[in-house]
Structure 1
Amino acid sequence: MKTSTDAAMEVCQAFMDDDRPHTETGLYAEQIRNRAFQMNDTGGPPDLSYYNLIQDGGSSASIALDSTVSLNYVLTHTLRLDVRGVGSGGRAGFSNEGWWGIRISPDETYNASFWAKSNNYTGPLNVSIESTSGSVLASAVVKGISSNFTKYSVQLTPKVSNTTTDNIFAITTSSQEANGASIWFDVISLFPPTYKNRPNGLRADIAQIVQNTAPSIFRFPGGNNLEGQTIEQRWKWNETVGPIELRPGRLGDWGYANTDGQGLLEYLEMCEDIGMEPILAVWAGYALNHDSVPQDQLGPYVQDTLNELEYVMGNTSTTYGVMRARDGHPEPFQIKWIEIGNDYFFSSTYNYRYQAWYDAIKAAYPKISIIATASQTARPFNVIDNHYYNNGPQMTGDFDLYDNYPRNGTTVFVGEFGTNINGCCGSSSADVQAAISDATFITGLERNSDVVEFIAYAPSFTRDGQSQWNPDLIGFNTKQVWGTPSYHVMQMWSTHRSDTILRVDASNGGFNPLYWVAGQKNATKEIFVKVANYGNATQTVSFNVRGAKVTKGVATTLTGNPTAINSAQAPNNVIPTNSTFNIRGDRFKFTFPALSASVLALSP
């Protein structure tokens, strides 16, 4: 294999998409489960799931869901604690078990808050984090409560030496002044330290594993998560902003409740903190039950999108820019790309709906690039979003998918892809075979990065034991987070980003089982050679780096048994390894392991 440096094109950007997000139990850092009694886990009537009564030391009390006393017009159910009697040295109250436990780590301070009121008790409340075995790890006191709903906040610093998850959060009273009293509670919240210390922010370790890939784009609020099972159940941006006690939540499109604590502003701040360009998908008149808004009824929905864009990009002289400033972000965000809908190749009505949204957005923001989600003839587009969920041979066979794609001024966003070894969709292992298929596919995309502008693996996150789709990029549980083999491939490709693509001449035949792309980082003069070996035998290659002044190399390689995976029990079962080698003159050899993905970083 020989390389030369006489071709140039920009390398496509990667890599995150928020389809099927599972943010409620992981990426969003909230530790209290069912914090505001919006609905049950599957979207049914509210209940007191994950709460337990505490009545210690001869105390007597009960808890109930109360729909007659509400916090506000949005959150209409509260938890009522009825204290019949507090025993001497005892306590009465309730606990929350969190999302499969509450994670506590050494040297961390946790921010707890809740809304409460009582008509006949003004005494103290004890707030604590406790082990399930009964040890109090941290506690604080709210000195007295009011007869009007008031928000109370405390900080808790547990004294622990190890990270544990067998913990609960508790609110109790030990005062006999509470005898016979009723106390109402809502929006009960517990946050660990968050990524970049954002209030209402992200779980730090999960955000960090995203950051570690050096991602450049993030599409949100997801694919199907945007659409809604029905038009009424669509993702409504205005119900995801403002104080969390004014967010009603919704049943997400994958069958579990969303508090919408991580809403439009939090997504934008996530992009800001991690350094990703936001790709904002806007709802465009279509739901997953195949209902479309009739053409003559689109007006209010189009206007809602313009309101959303003003919230994101408007200055503080605009109605919705003022709202964003009120919510804590006075500076407007800059949006370069807007995607009109998601997966609208399922629809027969995209032409008239696309036209309505395109015309309105372009009239207000003429410089914004529009991403179409399906072919249509009503209006032009800058980028089209294509999705691929194929098995290994199909994904590898698509290595040259864009080699002969028309170069006509429009580009491609591969907005969702992931190798499903068992075939589409969602019931395959995130194993080494899948990762090498992904590596082959994205190598082909990078070779065509003059037309493939962005790529994004999907889905991004899955909670261990709660998967609705497999494979996924990142796995997590309450205690830990890990990357799948495909995550490590994406990280390897993304963190070795070239500015130009280099021509590669193969002297011993074409592609298969080796697939490759080479590029140069102009600032450092490094050359990156990315190679996927989809075969079941090692491949030794002689390189002649003609005209390139490189003297040393670092190889990063991921390989393993085809069915090997990473898991909570073995998060580092399949991870890349590094090795170094020297280059004498213009030549060197390298052996690529069977079923492997490798990046050779060649430097002066």
Structure 2
Amino acid sequence: MITQRWKRLTVLLFCVYAVPLTAQQPLKYTLKANEIKASVSPQMWGIFFEDINFSADGGIYAELVKNRSFEFYTPLMGWHQPAATAGNAQVLIINRAGTNQQNPRYARITKMSDKDFVLINEGFRGMGIKANEQYHLSLFARQQADKPVKITATLLDESGNAIGTTVIAPDSREWKQYNVSFSATQTSPKAKLQLTFQGSGVLDIDMVSLFPQHTWKQRPNGLREDLVQLLADIKPGFLRFPGGCIVEGRELATRYQWKKTIGDPGQREVSVNRWNTEFAHRSTPDYYQSFGLGFYEYFQLAEDIGASPLPILNCGMACQYNTGEVVPVTEIDPYIQDALDLIEFANGDASTTWGALRAKLGHPAPFNLKMLGVGNEQWGPEYIERYTLFAKALREKHPEIKLVNSLGPNPDGDKFNFLNDTLRKLQADILDEHYYSSPDWFLRNAGRYDSYDRNGPKIFAGEYAAHSKGIGNGDNKNIWQSALAEAAFMTGLERNADVVVMASYAPLLAHVDAWQWTPDLIWFDNLRSYGTPNYYVQKLFANNKGTSVVPLLKDNQPVTGQDSVYASAVVDNNELVVKMINVSAKPVAVDVAVSGVKGLAKTAQLTVLRSDNLAEVNSLDDPKKISPEEKVLPVKGRSIAATIAPWSVYVVRVARQ
């Protein structure tokens, strides 16, 4: 819904728009190309990943089988026994926690006759199957009787028709992994996997897994290609992982523990996802974490897309909105050791314990970790007490690692003020500010960092998004009004790059059938995906990051909403990059006089992102309804003249002479 403030502004500006365009005088801006105001951090515009909205399992992690190792609290959740064959066998879930704590459960299928018995896995709101794609099915099995049981695996479309089949014939009384590949004959967005057990006997099964052949870089246990490509196209400066509140857990027992997420996927301990019942209006009790996408894969993903890794670790505090559980400071050492070990895992050579493990997993070279987050969205003196212990230990052993520290869940108020004041006195490295608010808030705060202390800690705008209908209620949409307001705000981040060194929209991904939180940067179903208008704003800024900020002024002041325009400028090698955002309903003519150059090229590259409807959204059926358009802008002398269309983002790149 368009806010009343925007409505009033629109009515007013439409009245102004009624004046003939020939009477409009261009706004006069000055761009001082030879006055470097600040360097832009290479990590300036990045991405924040959290396993919310089925972002990992059921999302970017390409596994198609839900509850593949029977470890959900309800062991057969995701599995279905059709009534027609249910009486032909007994399914027993056996728990071997005494000998295998990481993957304790497996299923024993006892066939009393030769009549077929069927188990069907529903996938993550179905399975996205593509015609002619090859699929790799694997499972662990062992025979328990003289008469062997074989398995026919079949892909079923939404109508129950077979669209691909293969056979597995387990032949051992010991656990053994079986791998087969087969092709699908048709495309189905909500397919299922049917396992038909044939013959009489007893068969144990575990880790039933199905992957498409075409994962990102064709890796086994890989990631979904289209989603990773959307991330790579942003050209992000950093990848923050694994969250977010996932780091904290509802209680400490379900916090994210990175050491449990590396190595053999079959030995990664499954955990309930802390978002599964967080929101009553979007309860998802089948939301768990297999950790098939774990810390090794996160580091690998960051490297693949050219982003600096930014892992966030639990600091001995569970989510303060839930249990508020904390570990006593006298027992904090294991948490600190986890941080030290992670640095060794990322950067240590093969002579170190954790560096050797990284090499064994297939990555002898270090991951070049430079930053580490201590806690997620903690607040209060309890956080300061634990942060201080972390900082002391990490700075003593790894002074080269910059620490990212929480300023709580809000950009102001008592919690924020206490942390901001205290952490500045403690000379913290980087302070993580979060803001989810209305589009109006983002417009009003485009100058937020203009008056920040230039000698204090750096700022990480770690989570932000303009919400159209309040916070956390599920009614928010990725409308153009929100993306436009974010773009305006981001000019303020860029202008203050000497203070703000990183920024990331949040959350990143959302399944259209299994989300908990809106808005989100990228939406997907089981086969398709699209970037929102907000995505294209992030991409435009990241793809046009530049290396140095130069002043762009009107009446010797930064352009922070005067005449409804927000603007910033950077130098990128031999080019000037000017970003101008018009948040009004009328076109605005501007004339940017450039000083400090001998001349400019005769034409500039102009990228326009706009819509005539503030409530417009992209969708799976129309994924690029709002997306960038490339144009050529004539340039005369040392002046950039343009008429910025209503409700639009303009990015101008011009070579300087």
Question: TM-score with structure 2 length normalisation?
Answer: 0.84
Residues 296-352 of structure 1: per-residue CA shift (max 9 Å, x gap): 2212222232233322322222222233333333333221011111112x3321222
Give the alignment of 1:440-479 within 5 angstroms.
440-479=488-527
Give the aligned partner of residue 397 of structure 1. 444
What letter is aligned with 1:319? T
Instruction: Please give the alpha-carbon distance, in whole angstroms, between the structure 2 residues aligned to 1:147 and 1:69.
Output: 17
Q: Is 2:544 aligned against 1:515?
A: no
Give the corresponding residue for 1:540.
589
The code of the aligned residue for 2:536 comes to H
Equivalent-residue separation in structure 1 for 2:582 and 2:122 (angstroms): 47
Residues 448 and 492 in structure 2, CA contact (< 8 A), matched pair in contact too: yes
Counterpart in the other structure of 1:14? 45
Alignment of 1:308-387 (within 5 A): 308-344=342-378, 346-374=379-407, 375=419, 376-377=422-423, 379-387=426-434
Match for residue 108 of structure 1 among 118, 133, 139: 133
Partner of 2:18: none
2-side partners of 1:420 and 1:136: how far apart?
A: 44
Tell me the residue number matched to 1:75.
103
Q: Which residue of 1 aligns with 2:610?
A: 559
In structure 2, C-alpha distance between the alignment counterparts of 1:541 and 1:586, rounded to whole Å: 14
Identity between Structure 1 and Structure 2 (%): 28
Structure 1 unmatched ranges of 5 or more:
none
Change (3 A) 1:393 1:364: same
SS at match of 1:338: strand
C-alpha displacement of 1:380: 2.8
* Residue of structure 1 in register with 2:64 after alignment: 31
Deviation at 1:405, TM superposition (A): 0.9
Q: Please state if 1:419 is matched with 2:444.
A: no
Look up the equivalent residue of 1:518 and give its one-letter code.
A
Gaps of 5+ in 2: 1-28, 277-286, 408-418
Deviation by residue 1:438-476 (Cα, 9 ceiling, x = unmatched): 101111100111111011111111111322111111111
2:486 matched to 1:435? no
Q: 1:60 offset after TM fit, Å?
A: 6.6
SS at match of 1:531: strand
Work out the CA distance in 1 between the residues paired with 2:329 and 2:87: 61
Distance 1:347 1:383 in 2: 18
Structure 1 residues 410 and 362 mapped into 2: Cα distance closer, same or farther (>3 Å)?
same
Runs of 4+ in 1 over 4 A off after TM superposition: 53-56, 68-71, 507-510
In the alignment, what sits opposite 2:283? none
Q: Encode CA deviations 1:243-283: one digit per residue, 9 max, x unaligned.
A: 12111211222123111111111111111111110012121
For residue 6 of structure 1, report the CA deviation from its aligned partner.
2.2
SS at structure 1 position matched to 2:222 = coil
How many angstroms apart in 1 are the aligned matches of 2:149 and 2:364?
A: 39
Residue of structure 2 equivalent to 1:591: 643
- Give the count of matched residue pairs: 586
Cα pair 2:71 2:270 within 8 Å, conserved: yes
Match of 2:24 in 1: none
| Change over 3 Å in CA distance of 1:50–1:551 after alignment to 2 | farther
Displacement of 1:65 in angstroms is: 4.4
Residue 193 of structure 2 is matched in structure 1 by: 169
| Distance in 2, Cα, partners of 1:52 & 1:590 | 65
- Once the two structures are superposed, residues 216-247 of structure 1 have per-residue CA deviations (whole angstroms, 9 ceiling, x without a partner) of 10111112110111122211111111112111
Q: Distance in 1 between matches of 2:618 and 2:33?
A: 38
Deviation at 1:104, TM superposition (A): 1.9
Q: Which of 31, 37, 57 is residue 3 of structure 1 equivalent to?
A: 31
Distance 2:652 2:434 in 1: 29
Structure 1 counterpart of 2:642, one-letter code = F
User: 2:318 & 2:589 partners in 1: Cα distance?
Assistant: 52
1:529 to 560, 572, 578: 578
Equivalent position to 1:306, from 304, 321, 340: 340
Name the aligned partner's letter for residue 68 of structure 2.
Answer: R
Aligned pairs (5 A) from 1:62-101: 62=89, 64-67=91-94, 72-86=100-114, 91-101=116-126
Aligned partners of 1:457 and 1:473 also within 8 Å: yes
User: Structure 2 CA distance, aligned partners of 1:349 and 1:78?
Assistant: 41
Given that 2:141 and 2:170 are in contact with CA atoms closer than 8 Å, whether structure 1 keeps it comes out as no
Determine the C-alpha separation between the residues in 1 that align with 2:388 and 2:289. 31
Answering whether residue 143 of structure 2 is matched by residue 118 of structure 1, we say: yes
State how far apart, in whole Å, the 2-side matches of 1:135 and 1:468 are: 32
Moved more, 17-26 or 257-266: 17-26
* One-letter code aligned to 1:11: V
**Which residue number in structure 1 is paired with residue 156 of structure 2?**
130
Q: How far apart, in 2, do the equivalents of 1:246 and 1:54 lie?
A: 33
CA distance in 2, matches of 1:215, 1:268: 14
2:340–2:394 contact (8 Å) kept in structure 1:
yes
Assess if the C-alpha contact under 8 Å between 2:92 and 2:109 holds in 1: no
Distance apart, 1:124 and its partner CA: 4.2
Please state whether the residue corresponding to 1:67 is helix, strand or coil: strand
Report the residue type matching 1:555 in the other structure: L
User: 2:632 aligns to what SS in structure 1?
Assistant: strand
Partner of 1:277: 308
CA contact (8 A) 2:148 2:202 kept: no
1:241 aligns with 2:262: yes
The 3 A distance-change label for structure 1 pair 54 and 464 is: same
**CA distance in 2 between partners of 1:143 and 1:422 (Å):** 55
Aligned to 2:653: 601
Q: Which residue of 2 aligns with 1:503?
A: 551
The range that moved more, 527-536 or 91-100, is 91-100
Residue aligned with 1:489, SS: helix
Indicate how the Cα distance of structure 1 residues 69 and 119 shifts in structure 2: closer, same or farther if over 3 A, else same. Answer: farther
CA spacing shift, 1:20–1:597, aligned 2, 3 Å: farther
Question: Shift in Å at residue 107 of structure 1?
Answer: 4.3
User: Which of these residues, 254, 271, 279, is aligned with residue 250 of structure 1?
Assistant: 271
TM-score when normalising by structure 1 = 0.91
Aligned partners of 2:205 and 2:499: how far apart in 1? Answer: 55
Moved more, 395-404 or 14-23: 14-23
SS of the residue aligned with 2:335?
helix
Give the counterpart letter for 1:104 in structure 2. Answer: I
Q: What is the alpha-carbon distance in structure 1 between the residues aligned to residue 235 and residue 180 of structure 2? A: 35
d(CA) in 1 for partners of 2:291 and 2:380? 27
Q: Which moved more, 1:61-70 or 1:292-301?
A: 61-70
